[in-house]
Every structure is written in C-alpha cells, then in structure tokens.
Amino acid sequence: MFKNVIARRPGTSITEGITSAPELGKPDHQLALRQHQAYCQALESCGVQVTVLPPLEEYPDSCFVEDTAVLTTRCAVITNPGAPSRRGEVDHMVDVIRSFYPADRVEFIRDPGTLEGGDVMMVGDTFYVGLSARTNREGIEQFARILGRNGFKVRAVPLSQVLHLKTGVNYLEGGNLLVSGEFVDHPEFASFNRIVVPPEEAYGANCIWVNGTVIVPQGYPTVEAQVRDLGYRVILVDTSEFRKIDGGLSCLSLRF
C-alpha cells in the first residue's frame, strides 16, 4: 500500500519538453495544469498524501518526477537521467526525498551510469529495469548493487521500440500485467496474467495501481474495459497534454 505521492506542477516551459511525436503539437499549459490537478485529486481519492512541488521553469520535463528517483520501502535511489537536459532535475529532488527518508537510506546513481525511473517497474521484492536509450547497463548494475544491499532483486529487460519500460508494461498487483507491443510475448513476463493492450491503444498501457484502484488514461476504452473486468476500481484521467511530450500517468508521480 502507498502512503505518499510526490508530484510537480508543470511550468509554462512544458511547451518545450522532449518529444518523439511533434505531430501531436505543443502542450497547452493551462490545460496541462487542469489535467495535473485532476490527476492529483485522483491520487488523493486513493488514500495517499500528495505533496505537490512548484514548477521548475528551467526544466521543461520536470513534471515527470518519476524519472528522478526510485522510492522503495527500504531505501530511496536518486537517479541519473539519460537525457542530458534533465540531469539538473535531480538536484531539486534530493532535499524533498530526504524529508521522507533517513540520510543513510538515500543512495545515488553516478556517472557513467544512467537510470530513469520510467524504466523501473516494482513487482513485490523484484524490480524489472528497462535497458533503454535512457537507462544504461552501468546504471542498472549500480541500481542492482544498491537494491541488493536492501534485500531486493533486479532483473534487466532490454527494450528497443519504446522510450521506457513502463511505456509498454505495467504491473497492477495480484499477478496482473498490462502488456503492449514488444512485451506481449516477452519471456521475462511469461508467468504473469498478461492483459494484452491492442496496438491502437498502446498509450493506454501506462496505467497505475494505487491502493486497489487503477488510474487509467482517458480515451482508451479497451484498456478501461480490460482493467474493470479484473475487478479493480477505475478512475479515468485525461493526460492528453502530457502525451505530447512523451509522458503518461506513471511519469507524473513518485508513489511510495
């Protein structure tokens, strides 16, 4: 069960965020703010305390706080993002994280290792980590050593077609796993109850489980129906403006 969530409001610079889909257009800042507020309200309705940080105008992608840290029940790991323009974001997160964790429980990924939280999926005491354009092997090895000292296991998952691991695969607890694209038949996930997301709704694979509720992006009816059929309470949240800069539901918060 999660008790806390950290989020950060998008700044006006969100219009300059990194994107692989410029054809979607630039985000509308005011609409992004409204969507972000609805997102935080959805999280609060799941029984967590949400800490909302102020915008960082100098970092257009800084609303995607998930990439800056991995927060576990035993330790916090401050990441080292693979996107150079995002490196400075972590400096603004350290004191925030230390307000929740003892100083000796806060660890760091160091150069030449890179790690972004969007590549990290927690399944009980095992953390699956995407080997991606943003997370390299050295970063995964450092992460594995840190988590190993804390009694966790790490499994690397090479990927080639999506930005982050959780772009295409997300754990809903209870053995249920949303999978899309290159992860549909991935042997690493053969033991899970895999719910296959159709290609035309691939963005909808990025759902988040929060204390028995699953928050689902609005506009993906097949995904919504599949999650409801599993028996979860569902909340729909519109993330259209964040999709324009390669972000989804999980990217917008740290849940712990």
Q: Provide the annotated active-site residues.
A: 164, 251
Q: What share of the chain is helix, strand, coil (3-state, %, to 5)?
A: 35, 25, 40
Q: Give the DSSP H or E segment for 11.
A: none
**In angstroms, rounded to a whole number, what is the distance separating the alpha carbons of residues 135 and 116?**
6
Residues 6+ apart with CB under 8 A from 199: 180, 181
Six token digits for residue 194? 């895999």
Residues 6+ apart with CB under 8 A from 102: none
**In angstroms, rounded to a whole number, what is the distance separating the alpha carbons of residues 109 and 12?**
29
Residues 6+ apart with CB under 8 A from 76: 69, 70, 97, 100, 101, 105, 106, 107
**In angstroms, rounded to a whole number, what is the distance separating the alpha carbons of residues 52 and 255?**
12
Can you list the alpha helix ranges (DSSP code H) found in the chain? 29-44, 94-98, 137-149, 165-168, 221-229, 240-243
Q: Is 189 helix (H, G, I), strand (E, B) or coil?
A: helix
